[in-house]
Structure 1
Amino acid sequence: MELTVTKDMAIGQVLNIHRGTARIFMEFGMHCLGCPHATAESLEDACAAHGANVDELVHQLNTFLSEQ
């Protein structure tokens, strides 16, 4: 896939690119993927709220998408 995920993107945007990314979000403790607020939240804000490393999340998402 040609698209690059950035920390400014909303969770919902990433999920719309490929639903398989949900597994990665879950691994980072983001279990409320269906919540309207959560899907509009930026990756950076979501990571701050969950104590996760945004750079690692972005890296894993981009790695996953590049393999699709």
Structure 2
Amino acid sequence: MKKVIKKTAKKIKKDMTFYELIESNPDAARKLAERGMFCGGCPMAMMETVEQGARAHGVDVDELISELNTKKKSISKKRKAVKK
């Protein structure tokens, strides 16, 4: 019997590293890139938090977190609809 391990997207928080963010929410990479934040390919992604990266790029962290979490919810709903 083969076990299927399903990854679920975590709620995005400002103390997550970019690695954790993109690992658990791969669709977030595109949203970050739209803001000029190419954090998925940055060597600092393993250590830098979303809050630190947002500050470095002059992005309001609370607005970014809200946008990413809203985007995550809409993507999840679309995936559920496609599976039906």
Short-chain TM bin: 0.7 to 0.9
Which structure's CA Rg is the greater one?
2
Aligned counterpart for 2:54 among listed residues 34, 42, 47? 47
> Given the two structures, how large is their TM-score scaled by the length of structure 1?
0.83
Residue 2 of structure 1: how far off its partner (Å): 6.5
Residue 32 of structure 1: how far off its partner (Å): 4.2
The alignment covers a number of residue pairs equal to 68
Deviation above 4 Å: which 4+ runs of structure 1?
none
Aligned counterpart for 1:3 among listed residues 6, 10, 22? 10
- Structure 1: runs of 5 or more not aligned: none
Amino acid paired to 2:66 = H
Between 1 and 2, higher relative CO (CA 8 Å, sep ≥ 6) is seen in 1
Calculate percent identity across the aligned residue pairs. Answer: 37
Aligned counterpart for 1:63 among listed residues 58, 66, 70? 70
Cα gap change, 1:2/1:11 in structure 2, threshold over 3 Å: closer, same or farther? Answer: closer
Cα gap change, 1:24/1:2 in structure 2, threshold over 3 Å: closer, same or farther? Answer: closer
Task: Say what the alpha-carbon RMSD is for the aligned residues.
Answer: 1.7
CA contact (8 A) 1:33 1:39 kept: no
CA contact (8 A) 1:5 1:14 kept: yes
Residue 42 of structure 1: how far off its partner (Å): 0.4
